[in-house]
Amino acid sequence: VADRLSLAADLHRALERNELVLHYQPQVNTQTGRIIGAEALVRWQHPTRGLVPPGVFIPVAEETGLIQPIGAWVIETACAQAREWAKAGIPLPTISVNVSVRQFMRKDLIDTLVKILRHTQIDAQTLELEVTESLIMKNAEEFVSTLKKLKDVGIKIAIDDFGTGYSSLSYLKRMPVDRLKVDQSFVRDINKDPESATIVEAIINLGHSLKLGVIAEGVETAQQLAFLRHRGCEEFQGYHFSRPV
Ligand code: C2E
Ligand code: MG
Ligand code: MG
Protein backbone atom coordinates (compact mmCIF):
# COMPACT_ATOMS: atom_id res chain seq x y z
CA VAL A 1 0.00 0.00 0.00
CA ALA A 2 2.80 2.41 0.93
CA ASP A 3 4.56 1.68 -2.33
CA ARG A 4 1.42 2.31 -4.33
CA LEU A 5 0.76 5.57 -2.49
CA SER A 6 4.25 6.83 -3.19
CA LEU A 7 3.89 5.80 -6.83
CA ALA A 8 0.60 7.69 -7.03
CA ALA A 9 2.16 10.81 -5.49
CA ASP A 10 5.06 10.69 -7.95
CA LEU A 11 2.72 10.10 -10.86
CA HIS A 12 0.99 13.40 -10.10
CA ARG A 13 4.22 15.17 -10.94
CA ALA A 14 5.33 12.92 -13.78
CA LEU A 15 3.51 14.84 -16.50
CA GLU A 16 4.72 18.31 -15.53
CA ARG A 17 8.24 16.97 -15.10
CA ASN A 18 8.16 15.43 -18.54
CA GLU A 19 8.92 11.96 -17.25
CA LEU A 20 6.58 10.06 -19.57
CA VAL A 21 7.93 8.74 -22.86
CA LEU A 22 6.40 6.90 -25.77
CA HIS A 23 7.98 3.97 -27.51
CA TYR A 24 6.62 2.88 -30.89
CA GLN A 25 6.32 -0.66 -32.15
CA PRO A 26 5.92 -1.10 -35.91
CA GLN A 27 3.09 -3.11 -37.42
CA VAL A 28 3.81 -4.83 -40.72
CA ASN A 29 1.87 -6.33 -43.59
CA THR A 30 3.70 -9.36 -44.94
CA GLN A 31 1.79 -9.35 -48.21
CA THR A 32 3.09 -5.92 -49.18
CA GLY A 33 6.22 -6.10 -47.04
CA ARG A 34 5.50 -2.63 -45.72
CA ILE A 35 5.14 -1.01 -42.33
CA ILE A 36 1.45 -0.22 -42.02
CA GLY A 37 1.53 1.56 -38.70
CA ALA A 38 2.91 1.73 -35.20
CA GLU A 39 1.50 1.30 -31.71
CA ALA A 40 2.42 3.92 -29.14
CA LEU A 41 3.33 2.36 -25.78
CA VAL A 42 3.86 4.61 -22.79
CA ARG A 43 6.71 4.28 -20.27
CA TRP A 44 7.56 6.30 -17.20
CA GLN A 45 11.15 7.39 -16.75
CA HIS A 46 11.05 7.58 -12.97
CA PRO A 47 13.92 9.52 -11.30
CA THR A 48 14.84 6.67 -8.92
CA ARG A 49 12.89 3.60 -10.05
CA GLY A 50 14.13 3.69 -13.64
CA LEU A 51 11.85 2.85 -16.56
CA VAL A 52 8.45 1.86 -15.15
CA PRO A 53 6.28 -0.25 -17.51
CA PRO A 54 2.65 0.71 -18.19
CA GLY A 55 1.37 -2.47 -16.53
CA VAL A 56 2.60 -1.00 -13.22
CA PHE A 57 1.47 2.62 -13.40
CA ILE A 58 -1.57 2.62 -15.72
CA PRO A 59 -3.70 0.88 -13.04
CA VAL A 60 -2.57 3.55 -10.55
CA ALA A 61 -3.42 6.24 -13.08
CA GLU A 62 -6.87 4.73 -13.50
CA GLU A 63 -7.53 4.59 -9.76
CA THR A 64 -6.42 8.17 -9.19
CA GLY A 65 -8.10 9.70 -12.23
CA LEU A 66 -4.72 10.66 -13.67
CA ILE A 67 -5.48 8.46 -16.66
CA GLN A 68 -7.35 11.41 -18.13
CA PRO A 69 -4.43 13.87 -18.48
CA ILE A 70 -1.96 11.04 -19.13
CA GLY A 71 -4.17 9.53 -21.82
CA ALA A 72 -4.63 12.89 -23.51
CA TRP A 73 -0.87 13.45 -23.40
CA VAL A 74 -0.27 10.04 -25.02
CA ILE A 75 -2.69 10.71 -27.88
CA GLU A 76 -1.38 14.23 -28.48
CA THR A 77 2.25 13.11 -28.41
CA ALA A 78 1.66 10.12 -30.70
CA CYS A 79 -0.22 12.29 -33.22
CA ALA A 80 2.50 14.96 -33.10
CA GLN A 81 5.10 12.26 -33.74
CA ALA A 82 3.11 10.89 -36.68
CA ARG A 83 3.00 14.42 -38.08
CA GLU A 84 6.80 14.75 -37.67
CA TRP A 85 7.34 11.48 -39.52
CA ALA A 86 5.03 12.59 -42.33
CA LYS A 87 6.95 15.87 -42.63
CA ALA A 88 10.20 13.92 -42.77
CA GLY A 89 8.85 11.98 -45.75
CA ILE A 90 7.97 8.78 -43.90
CA PRO A 91 4.21 8.90 -43.54
CA LEU A 92 2.66 6.16 -41.39
CA PRO A 93 -0.76 4.98 -42.52
CA THR A 94 -1.84 4.36 -38.92
CA ILE A 95 -0.83 5.37 -35.44
CA SER A 96 -2.42 3.18 -32.76
CA VAL A 97 -3.00 4.37 -29.23
CA ASN A 98 -4.28 2.38 -26.24
CA VAL A 99 -7.28 3.84 -24.47
CA SER A 100 -8.53 2.60 -21.11
CA VAL A 101 -12.11 2.34 -19.84
CA ARG A 102 -12.10 5.50 -17.73
CA GLN A 103 -10.87 7.47 -20.72
CA PHE A 104 -13.25 5.91 -23.14
CA MET A 105 -16.35 6.50 -21.05
CA ARG A 106 -15.76 10.23 -20.66
CA LYS A 107 -18.34 12.48 -22.24
CA ASP A 108 -15.62 14.76 -23.63
CA LEU A 109 -13.67 11.98 -25.38
CA ILE A 110 -14.71 13.00 -28.88
CA ASP A 111 -14.07 16.72 -28.22
CA THR A 112 -10.61 15.95 -26.86
CA LEU A 113 -9.79 13.82 -29.88
CA VAL A 114 -11.07 16.35 -32.40
CA LYS A 115 -9.03 19.10 -30.72
CA ILE A 116 -5.89 16.97 -30.80
CA LEU A 117 -6.39 16.06 -34.47
CA ARG A 118 -6.84 19.69 -35.41
CA HIS A 119 -3.92 20.83 -33.29
CA THR A 120 -1.49 18.22 -34.63
CA GLN A 121 -2.88 18.40 -38.20
CA ILE A 122 -3.38 14.66 -38.42
CA ASP A 123 -6.06 13.01 -40.55
CA ALA A 124 -8.65 11.26 -38.39
CA GLN A 125 -8.14 8.13 -40.53
CA THR A 126 -4.55 7.96 -39.32
CA LEU A 127 -5.56 7.52 -35.69
CA GLU A 128 -6.62 4.14 -34.35
CA LEU A 129 -7.78 3.60 -30.79
CA GLU A 130 -7.09 0.22 -29.19
CA VAL A 131 -9.65 -0.81 -26.62
CA THR A 132 -9.80 -4.12 -24.82
CA GLU A 133 -12.52 -6.65 -25.25
CA SER A 134 -13.46 -6.67 -21.56
CA LEU A 135 -14.02 -2.90 -21.64
CA ILE A 136 -16.42 -3.25 -24.49
CA MET A 137 -18.51 -6.05 -23.13
CA LYS A 138 -18.88 -4.47 -19.71
CA ASN A 139 -20.47 -1.39 -21.23
CA ALA A 140 -21.68 -2.67 -24.57
CA GLU A 141 -24.65 -0.34 -25.16
CA GLU A 142 -22.77 2.81 -24.27
CA PHE A 143 -19.78 1.58 -26.18
CA VAL A 144 -21.72 1.13 -29.40
CA SER A 145 -22.95 4.72 -29.29
CA THR A 146 -19.46 6.12 -28.63
CA LEU A 147 -18.12 3.97 -31.46
CA LYS A 148 -20.60 5.40 -33.88
CA LYS A 149 -19.53 8.93 -32.96
CA LEU A 150 -15.89 7.99 -33.47
CA LYS A 151 -16.77 6.53 -36.88
CA ASP A 152 -18.46 9.79 -37.85
CA VAL A 153 -15.24 11.62 -37.07
CA GLY A 154 -13.27 9.01 -39.05
CA ILE A 155 -11.20 7.53 -36.22
CA LYS A 156 -10.49 3.79 -36.42
CA ILE A 157 -10.99 1.21 -33.68
CA ALA A 158 -9.17 -2.01 -32.91
CA ILE A 159 -10.16 -4.54 -30.28
CA ASP A 160 -7.03 -5.32 -28.29
CA ASP A 161 -6.26 -8.64 -26.57
CA PHE A 162 -9.04 -10.25 -28.56
CA GLY A 163 -10.01 -13.71 -27.36
CA THR A 164 -9.20 -13.16 -23.69
CA GLY A 165 -12.41 -11.37 -22.79
CA TYR A 166 -15.96 -12.30 -22.96
CA SER A 167 -17.19 -11.34 -26.37
CA SER A 168 -20.78 -11.27 -27.37
CA LEU A 169 -20.72 -12.06 -31.05
CA SER A 170 -24.02 -10.29 -31.61
CA TYR A 171 -22.49 -7.05 -30.29
CA LEU A 172 -19.41 -7.60 -32.38
CA LYS A 173 -21.60 -7.75 -35.46
CA ARG A 174 -23.21 -4.40 -34.58
CA MET A 175 -20.01 -2.62 -33.69
CA PRO A 176 -18.27 -0.53 -36.29
CA VAL A 177 -14.77 -1.75 -35.38
CA ASP A 178 -11.97 -2.00 -37.93
CA ARG A 179 -9.57 -4.61 -36.61
CA LEU A 180 -9.25 -7.49 -34.19
CA LYS A 181 -5.93 -7.87 -32.44
CA VAL A 182 -5.27 -11.52 -31.64
CA ASP A 183 -3.99 -11.66 -28.07
CA GLN A 184 -0.35 -12.54 -27.63
CA SER A 185 -1.10 -15.31 -25.12
CA PHE A 186 -2.54 -17.44 -27.96
CA VAL A 187 0.21 -16.49 -30.38
CA ARG A 188 2.87 -17.51 -27.85
CA ASP A 189 1.59 -21.08 -27.74
CA ILE A 190 0.38 -21.71 -31.29
CA ASN A 191 3.21 -24.07 -32.16
CA LYS A 192 2.99 -26.11 -28.94
CA ASP A 193 -0.63 -26.04 -27.90
CA PRO A 194 -3.35 -27.27 -30.30
CA GLU A 195 -6.09 -25.37 -28.41
CA SER A 196 -4.32 -22.03 -28.87
CA ALA A 197 -3.78 -22.85 -32.51
CA THR A 198 -7.47 -23.60 -32.95
CA ILE A 199 -8.53 -20.41 -31.18
CA VAL A 200 -6.22 -18.29 -33.30
CA GLU A 201 -7.52 -19.91 -36.44
CA ALA A 202 -11.10 -19.27 -35.34
CA ILE A 203 -10.37 -15.60 -34.59
CA ILE A 204 -8.76 -15.09 -38.00
CA ASN A 205 -11.78 -16.65 -39.71
CA LEU A 206 -14.24 -14.71 -37.58
CA GLY A 207 -12.51 -11.42 -38.32
CA HIS A 208 -12.32 -12.02 -42.03
CA SER A 209 -15.94 -13.20 -42.24
CA LEU A 210 -17.04 -10.00 -40.53
CA LYS A 211 -14.85 -8.06 -43.01
CA LEU A 212 -12.54 -6.85 -40.25
CA GLY A 213 -8.78 -6.57 -40.32
CA VAL A 214 -6.91 -9.09 -38.19
CA ILE A 215 -3.52 -8.35 -36.68
CA ALA A 216 -1.54 -10.78 -34.54
CA GLU A 217 0.48 -9.32 -31.68
CA GLY A 218 3.40 -10.80 -29.79
CA VAL A 219 4.86 -12.59 -32.82
CA GLU A 220 8.35 -13.59 -31.74
CA THR A 221 9.43 -16.44 -34.01
CA ALA A 222 9.49 -17.42 -37.66
CA GLN A 223 7.43 -20.53 -36.81
CA GLN A 224 4.65 -18.45 -35.28
CA LEU A 225 4.71 -16.18 -38.31
CA ALA A 226 4.54 -19.14 -40.71
CA PHE A 227 1.59 -20.64 -38.85
CA LEU A 228 -0.33 -17.35 -38.87
CA ARG A 229 0.36 -16.62 -42.53
CA HIS A 230 -0.71 -20.11 -43.49
CA ARG A 231 -4.05 -19.41 -41.75
CA GLY A 232 -4.55 -16.19 -43.71
CA CYS A 233 -3.31 -13.53 -41.27
CA GLU A 234 -1.15 -10.89 -42.96
CA GLU A 235 -0.71 -8.16 -40.33
CA PHE A 236 1.75 -8.54 -37.49
CA GLN A 237 3.36 -6.87 -34.55
CA GLY A 238 6.00 -8.41 -32.33
CA TYR A 239 9.65 -8.85 -31.40
CA HIS A 240 10.20 -10.95 -34.54
CA PHE A 241 9.95 -7.69 -36.49
CA SER A 242 10.89 -5.10 -33.88
CA ARG A 243 10.63 -4.33 -30.20
CA PRO A 244 8.95 -1.08 -29.24
CA VAL A 245 11.57 1.59 -30.03
P1 C2E B 1 -0.99 -4.06 -25.27
O2 C2E B 1 -1.67 -2.86 -25.82
O3 C2E B 1 -1.59 -5.39 -25.56
O4 C2E B 1 0.50 -3.94 -25.83
C5 C2E B 1 1.31 -5.04 -26.18
C6 C2E B 1 2.37 -5.31 -25.14
O7 C2E B 1 3.14 -6.43 -25.56
C8 C2E B 1 3.39 -4.19 -24.94
O9 C2E B 1 3.80 -4.24 -23.57
C10 C2E B 1 4.52 -4.60 -25.86
O11 C2E B 1 5.76 -4.06 -25.50
C12 C2E B 1 4.51 -6.09 -25.67
N13 C2E B 1 5.03 -6.82 -26.83
C14 C2E B 1 5.08 -6.44 -28.13
N15 C2E B 1 5.58 -7.41 -28.90
C16 C2E B 1 5.89 -8.44 -28.08
C17 C2E B 1 6.47 -9.76 -28.31
O18 C2E B 1 6.79 -10.16 -29.42
N19 C2E B 1 6.60 -10.55 -27.21
C20 C2E B 1 6.24 -10.14 -25.96
N21 C2E B 1 6.42 -10.98 -24.94
N22 C2E B 1 5.70 -8.92 -25.71
C23 C2E B 1 5.52 -8.09 -26.76
P24 C2E B 1 3.88 -2.91 -22.70
O25 C2E B 1 4.47 -1.80 -23.50
O26 C2E B 1 4.53 -3.27 -21.41
O27 C2E B 1 2.36 -2.54 -22.45
C28 C2E B 1 1.53 -3.36 -21.68
C29 C2E B 1 0.10 -2.88 -21.71
O30 C2E B 1 -0.03 -1.59 -21.10
C31 C2E B 1 -0.44 -2.68 -23.13
O32 C2E B 1 -0.83 -3.93 -23.66
C33 C2E B 1 -1.59 -1.74 -22.88
O34 C2E B 1 -2.73 -2.44 -22.46
C35 C2E B 1 -1.09 -0.90 -21.72
N36 C2E B 1 -0.62 0.40 -22.24
C37 C2E B 1 0.55 0.71 -22.85
N38 C2E B 1 0.58 2.02 -23.20
C39 C2E B 1 -0.61 2.55 -22.80
C40 C2E B 1 -1.20 3.87 -22.90
O41 C2E B 1 -0.64 4.83 -23.45
N42 C2E B 1 -2.46 4.03 -22.35
C43 C2E B 1 -3.13 2.98 -21.78
N44 C2E B 1 -4.36 3.21 -21.29
N45 C2E B 1 -2.61 1.72 -21.68
C46 C2E B 1 -1.37 1.53 -22.19
MG1 MG C 1 -2.46 -2.33 -27.48
MG1 MG D 1 -2.68 -6.51 -26.58
- Give the atom of ligand 1 at the shortest distance from the alpha carbon of 183: 3
AA identity, residue 245: V
pLDDT for 144: 87
Q: What whole-number distance in Å separates Cα of residue 165 and Cα of residue 4?
A: 27
Ligand 2 centroid – CA 152 distance (Å): 23
Average pLDDT over every residue of 224-234: 97
Over residues 140-172, the pLDDT tens digits come to: 788 888 999 999 999 999 999 998 877 777 778
Over residues 36-66, the pLDDT tens digits come to: 999 999 999 999 999 999 999 999 999 999 9
- Whether residue 98 contacts residue 181, with contact meaning beta carbons closer than 8 Å, is answered with no
pLDDT for 175: 85
pLDDT for 44: 98
Average pLDDT over every residue of 99-104: 88
Q: Burial code of 23-41, b = ≥16 C-beta within 10 A, e = fewer?
A: ebbbbbbeeeeebbbbbbb
Ligand index nearest the alpha carbon of residue 237: 1
Over residues 106-142, the pLDDT tens digits come to: 889 999 999 999 999 999 999 999 998 877 777 778 8
- Give the atom of ligand 1 at the shortest distance from the alpha carbon of 74: 41
Residue nearest to atom 9 of ligand 1 (CA): 41
Ligand 3 centroid – CA 27 distance (Å): 13
AA identity, residue 32: T
pLDDT for 218: 98
Ligand 1 probe mutation, 27, 98, 133, most atoms within 8 A of CB: 98
Over residues 176-224, the pLDDT tens digits come to: 899 999 999 999 999 999 999 999 999 999 999 999 999 999 999 999 9
pLDDT for 94: 97
pLDDT for 172: 82
Asked if residue 3 has pLDDT above 90, the reply is no
Asked if residue 226 has pLDDT above 90, the reply is yes
Pocket of ligand 1 (CB under 6 A): 25, 41-42, 53-55, 58, 71, 74, 98-100, 130, 160-161, 184, 217-220, 238-239, 244
Ligand 1 centroid – CA 171 distance (Å): 25
pLDDT for 158: 96
Asked if residue 35 has pLDDT above 80, the reply is yes
Rounded to a whole number, what is the distance in angstroms from the first to the last CA of the chain? Answer: 32
Average pLDDT over every residue of 10-24: 96
- Whether residue 15 contacts residue 214, with contact meaning beta carbons closer than 8 Å, is answered with no
pLDDT for 174: 82
Residue 10: half-sphere exposure toward Cβ, Cα within 13 Å: 17
Average pLDDT over every residue of 12-34: 96
pLDDT for 39: 98
Q: Is 28 helix (H, G, I), strand (E, B) or coil?
A: strand
Distance of CA 243 to CAs 155, 204, 229, Å? 26, 24, 20
